[in-house]
Structure 1
Amino acid sequence: MCKKNLISIVGPTAIGKTTLAIAVAKHYHTEIISADSRQFYKEMAVGTAVPSSEELASVPHHFIQHKSIFEEYTVGDFEREAIKKLESLFQDKDIVVMVGGSGLYVDAIKNGLDNFPPIDPVVRETLNNTLKTEGILSLQERLKILDRDYYNQVDLNNPHRLIRALEVCIGSGLPYTSFLKQKKPKRGFNTITVGITAERKIIYDRINQRVDMMLEQGLLEEVASLEENQALNALQTVGYRELFSYFKGDFDLDTAIAEIKKNTRRFAKRQLTWLRKKEDILWVDYEYNFNEILEKIEQKRNG
């Protein structure tokens, strides 16, 4: 039995993953790997709900605000760096905690990445032109036709993800998801996944409250400071895109805020759709009993 265990804390946005991850890490006197791709960038703190300075100081965290929006950073880069960090941490720890709502990044650590065929760069160029001339809706509709499974999982408001999936579909003639079922590398650790959930209304209420809190903490000012760089991939995300539209005059502020809340709720729904397909998750209610969670983790460790 492998004695090294990665405890992965997952769940929809705003459900309380950070709080639980810190509590688990403190209990096991260990450290935290962040798998939240939005929190990698040091220029994006408020809109990505980066843990507070007190939270970051309470337990050692890795892969939070370690990159700039001007750097290209892929899931492959993250996988290589995070696995190297885990190997180092596991030298003197039996348990490490991972937390994050980016399903692709979580899966990359648990299972490894998929091998995709080489694609003619012209395909991506054509799709980028389609995005500019016809808008994101055109890409969404095309993906719905070419790969309905991935359409139901992906963040439909993320053009980078849509274009990546479409270029594989078009270039290979096969669905993007068909490449997600290949044999993966064997990891030198077990993964115990704890998923936090709640009734949909509670999740949506928590999201709305978080957006209001972000605005109080300076989201508007943060996005304004990034406006001239809004074409960068890192900024093609909920909370930033809608406020860029507000600054351009496409929305009034109330509409922009409503759009952020709506798009975040949609994102949370897709996160849950992705997670509920996984059979190995220990689901707990957001009003959990911490000792019961520890019992479940220990049962898995010793099982």
Structure 2
Amino acid sequence: MTTTTPPTLLVLLGPTGVGKTALSLRLAERLGSPILSADSRQIYRGMPIGTAAPTADERARVTHYFVDLLDPAEPYSAARYETDALALLTTLFTTHAAVLLTGGSMMYIDAVCQGIDDIPTVPTDIRAAVMADYERLGLDALLDELRQADPVHFAEVDRCNPRRVIHAVEICRTAGRPYSDFRTRTVKVRPFRILKIGLVRPREELFRRIDARVDQMMADGLLSEARALYPQRHLNALNTVGYKELFQHFDGQLSLDEAVARIKRNTRVYARKQQTWFHRDPSITWFHPDDMAHILRFLDEVL
């Protein structure tokens, strides 16, 4: 009986600033593969500096998907990414034995690798209304709404994380049903093999790289980029580290030095959250980004 080896999705992941971009280019060239970006902000246009999107030279070197596609006003979700990425992979696997996906957006990676619950897309008007209630009434008011609309999720949600609470309230209002109804956590079987390489650095080394990268972003024109996006500051796509601190500066709430310091701090916090999320996954094989020899040896053994 003849067996057919399934195609392979190679996932390169890790916290922000760890060095995914440089290594992804080398691996993509070695595999003869395009790169699928799993970054929830790089998909938007007009934000290349703040999202550390691949440069024009890097995109000329290797074909990239899911970069610089949408206007920041267009809603996008992990569920939509799952659908779009799987459709693209179906096409790519007809000509590629292995395809590289890389990024740091945890939900996007999980959506492709194991599926995501069929959660409805939140309309722009509901998202704006929930955010307005949060800004006007505070987090406690949204928590009270969630407690009444979905006591199951209320009992388990991180009540110190406004984004999680806001998202749950958005879903409850959109669907007219509890958010917990949609959270089945069913792992979907994929018609391809999945290999995950994680990149890790000692914490102080990673934090130094993050601080240096923020300084480089400022030198590259992040302030001007943020100023151009400032009229759209209410959009969910711009509620992200790097922009929201500079928007506070434009509003007179922070000096520029304070805003930059806060970008560094909040980026370090986000990196810690990414590391915590990824380290729950026992299927990831971890390497230091500079250990190219061991990474290539690993790939030779598994591909």
Shift of 1:297: 2.4
Residue 213 in 1 paired to residue 220 in 2?
no
Residue 287 of structure 1 is matched in structure 2 by 290
Q: What residue number does 2:268 align with?
A: 265
> Shift of residue 88 of structure 1?
0.8
The structure-2 alpha-carbon separation of the partners of 1:277 and 1:27, relative to structure 1 and needing over 3 Å to count, comes to same
Q: CA deviation at 1:122?
A: 11
Residue 47 of structure 1 pairs with residue 50 of structure 2: yes
The 1:212–1:182 alpha-carbon spacing in structure 2 relative to 1, beyond 3 Å, is same
Distance 1:137 1:212, change over 3 A: farther
User: What is the SS of the residue equivalent to 2:286?
Assistant: strand
CA gap 1:147/1:7 in 2 versus in 1, 3 angstroms: farther
- By how many angstroms is 1:67 displaced? 1.0
Partner of 1:252: 255
The aligned counterpart of 2:84 is: 81
Secondary structure of the structure 2 residue equivalent to 1:8: strand
Q: What is residue 5 of structure 1 aligned with on the other side?
A: 8
Equivalent pair of 2:6/2:191 in contact (CA under 8 Å):
no
The alpha-carbon distance between structure 1 residues 69 and 114, as it changes in their structure 2 partners (threshold 3 A), is same
Per the TM alignment, residue 84 of structure 1 is displaced from its structure 2 partner at its CA by: 1.2
Match of 1:198 in 2: 201
Q: 1:103 aligns with which of 101, 106, 130?
A: 106
**Alpha-carbon distance change, 27 to 141 in structure 1, aligned in 2, over 3 angstroms:** farther
Task: Report how far residue 38 of structure 1 moved.
Answer: 0.9
Deviation per residue, 1:19-64 (Å, 9 max, x gap): 1111111111111100111101111011000112221111111111
CA contact (8 A) 2:79 2:117 kept: no
| Residues 1:151 and 2:158 aligned together | yes
8 Å CA contact retained: 1:13, 1:268: yes
Whether 2:265 is the aligned partner of 1:299: answer: no
Bigger shift: residues 162-171 or 17-26: 162-171
In 1, Cα distance between equivalents of 2:266 and 2:297 = 36
**Contact 1:168 1:175 survives alignment (8 Å):** no
For 2:199 and 2:184, locate their aligned partners in 1 and report how far apart those are by CA, in whole Å.
25
The one-letter amino acid paired with 2:236 is: N
Q: What's 2:185 paired with?
A: 181
Aligned partner letter, 1:291: A
Q: Offset at 1:180?
A: 5.3
CA gap of 1:238–1:132, structure 2 versus 1, over 3 A, is same
Give how far 1:117 is off. Answer: 8.3
SS of the counterpart of 2:41?
helix
When residues 94 and 138 of structure 1 are mapped into structure 2, their CA distance, relative to the original with a 3 A threshold, is farther
Alpha-carbon spacing, 1:123–1:54, altered in 2? closer, same or farther (3 Å): closer
Length-normalised TM-score, structure 2? 0.86
Equivalent-residue separation in structure 2 for 1:86 and 1:192 (angstroms): 15
| CA RMSD between the two structures | 3.1
- For structure 1, the 5+ residue unaligned runs are none
Paired residue for 2:115? Answer: 112
Shift of 1:291: 2.8
- Partner Cα separation in structure 2 for residue 139 and residue 205 of structure 1: 37
Equivalent residue, structure 1, for 2:68: 65
2:185 partner amino acid = K
State the TM-score, normalizing by the size of structure 1: 0.86
8 Å CA contact 1:147–1:175 kept in 2: the answer is no
Q: In structure 2, what is the Cα distance between the partners aligned to 1:124 and 1:248?
A: 22
Displacement of 1:71 in angstroms is: 1.7
Match of 2:245 among 242, 245, 256: 242
Distance 1:294 1:112, change over 3 A: same
> Whole-Å Cα distance in 2 between the matches of residues 118 and 234 of structure 1?
14
Compute the displacement of 1:139 (Å).
5.9
The size of the alignment, in residue pairs, is 293
